[in-house]
Amino acid sequence: MTAAAGPPALAEPVRQVGRGWTAALSLANGAIWVGWYGPLQILLALQAAQLAPPGTAKESVLAWVTGLGAVVSLVANPLFGALSDRTTSRHGRRAPWILAGVLGGAAALVLLAGARTVPVMALGWCLVQLTLNAAFAAVTAAVPDQVPRGQRGAVGGWLGAAQLLGVLVGTGLATLAGGIAAGYLACAGFTVLATLPYLLRYPDPVLPAGLRPPFTWRAFLAGFRFSPRRHPDLGWAWLTRFLINLGNALALLYLLYYLRDVLHRPDPQGGVLILTAVNGVTLLGTVVVGGIWSDRSGRRQPFVLWAGVLMTVATALLAGWQTWTGALVAAALLGVGFGVFTSVDFALMTDVLPAAADRGRDLGVINIANSLPQVAAPVLAAPLVGHLGGYRTLFLTAAATGLLGALLVRRIRGVA
């Protein structure tokens, strides 16, 4: 990839990537999400029901297993991003970690397929999170490594679309494979095979060994200390992403219970499926278009701001228009807003990275703003629903949280 100056691994890219590169990286990204969401949507819940000891609720088993995995993911993403930053393989900085991550993830899924106890199930899922986060950190860092700033919105849009399709494919494989073990094996096979086109066809920029800084544990660990004072744009961008994702997580966490207990839908599971489909269609309709539009305009902030405002309106509708029609409208608006936010905010994040040498580590820290809300949302939502006003309070809190995140994007000075 042609770069402005210096070795390609550390220079700012200037030549646009082709459609083949974008398609192959998006396919690899979607493959990782297949490995995550086949289990999360279907297989882990079925396995928890099968393996839960007598007297232990399957919901508790599932919560502990997924909670442990979430903790592993919080650490693994920035850790492997930092390790990839320092990799001097002749195959590049990112490609070795993508390959090792998907092979390790496939092996961990095979371990889950044969799990016969809850501890082995928990170990397998933690290994899935560890390894696939290594691959995901490297895939994410490949974008600022090789994509010029003016094309990152479009590429981010295709990556976002691939994530949604990965969720759908993973769910489909888990459902249609013919059993828990077969579902895990199908997800494992897809995860590996769909990554190969990118690894085999597209070279990764190489970091010369002489440019890798000397390693000390103190310096390595100190690099993970995030200083908003030194890098205020990165700090505001992180907080924007965290709050908007937290608002979205709060709005969606108890959707099944909302349909059952407030709207009294006769088939709440089917209702969730319909709302998810509506949300997915509108998200796919805007995630790529929003990124391309942002690239052409040369601006990021207005797109993130108005996407956040639209998501706030959608969430507030759930509080004030508590009907099935209101839920359908809210799902559609959430999809539109989150689609634009997904692509443009990703581009914005890559634009505020402080140093090319630390892209993987910094993006790993940024990705915590995606996963941490999934941990925080249940802690906040339970008392809001149980003791502080019910679902109306929950949705209004979600709306206010997302709106605050959208407004804070205006504090970023280095990106228009």
The 10s digit of each residue's pLDDT in 19-78 is 999 999 999 999 999 999 888 878 998 898 899 899 887 878 887 888 888 889 888 989
At a CB cut-off of 8 Å and minimum separation 6, what does 159 contact? 25, 26, 29, 143, 343, 346
Q: Which of 83-92, 134-143, 206-215, 221-230 has the lowest mean pLDDT?
A: 221-230
Average pLDDT over residues 305-322: 92
Residue 176 clears pLDDT 80, i.e. is over it: yes
Residue 169 clears pLDDT 80, i.e. is over it: yes
Query: Contact, 153 vs 372, CB < 8 A?
Result: no
At a CB cut-off of 8 Å and minimum separation 6, what does 23 contact? 158
Q: Hey, which residues does 13 pair with through a beta bridge?
A: 3
Average pLDDT over residues 359-381: 81
CATH superfamily label, 19-222: MFS general substrate transporter like domains (1.20.1250.20)
User: Which value, in Å, is the radius of gyration of the alpha carbons in the chain?
Assistant: 21
Domain spans in the chain, listed from the N-terminal domain onward: 19-222, 232-411
- For residue 290, the SS3 value is helix
Query: Contact, 90 vs 179, CB < 8 A?
Result: no
With CA atoms as reference, report the closest residue to 33 among 187, 181, 205: 187
Q: Which of 45-59, 216-230, 262-276, 277-291 has the lowest mean pLDDT?
A: 216-230
How far is residue 59 from each of residues 37, 48, 63, 67, 385, measured CA to CA in Å? 18, 8, 6, 12, 19
- Per-residue confidence at 6, pLDDT binned at 50, 70, 90? low
With CA atoms as reference, report the closest residue to 316 among 340, 335, 341, 334: 334
41 versus 185: the higher-pLDDT residue is: 185
Structural tokens at position 117:
């106890």
Structural tokens at position 347:
């581009």
Helices (H), 194-323: 196-201, 217-222, 232-253, 255-261, 268-297, 301-320
In whole numbers, what is the pLDDT of the chain averaged over residues? 88
Query: Contact, 43 vs 26, CB < 8 A?
Result: no
Average pLDDT over residues 240-249: 90
Query: Contact, 154 vs 287, CB < 8 A?
Result: no
Q: What is the DSSP letter of 88?
A: -
Its pTM stands at 0.84
Query: Contact, 238 vs 369, CB < 8 A?
Result: yes
Structural tokens at position 138:
């490297």
Q: How far apart are CA 201 and CA 17, in angstroms?
A: 13
Q: Which fold has domain 232-411?
A: Growth Hormone; Chain: A; (1.20.1250)
Indicate the burial class of 95 (C-beta count within 10 angstroms; 0-12, 13-18, 19 or more): buried
Structural tokens at position 265:
């839908």
At a CB cut-off of 8 Å and minimum separation 6, what does 297 contact? none
Q: How far apart are CA 138 and CA 260, in angstroms?
A: 41
- Per-residue confidence at 12, pLDDT binned at 50, 70, 90? confident
Residue 366 clears pLDDT 70, i.e. is over it: yes
Exposed e or buried b per residue across 320-348, where buried means at least 16 C-beta atoms within 10 angstroms of its C-beta: eeeeeebbebbbbbbbbbbbbbbbbbbbb
At a CB cut-off of 8 Å and minimum separation 6, what does 241 contact? 345, 349, 366, 369, 370, 405
- For residue 31, the SS3 value is helix
286 φ/ψ angles, rounded to the nearest 5 degrees: -120, -20
Q: How far apart are CA 288 and CA 384, in angstroms?
A: 35
Residue 213 clears pLDDT 80, i.e. is over it: no
- Per-residue confidence at 321, pLDDT binned at 50, 70, 90? very high
Percent of the chain with pLDDT over 90: 44
Structural tokens at position 12:
């700012």
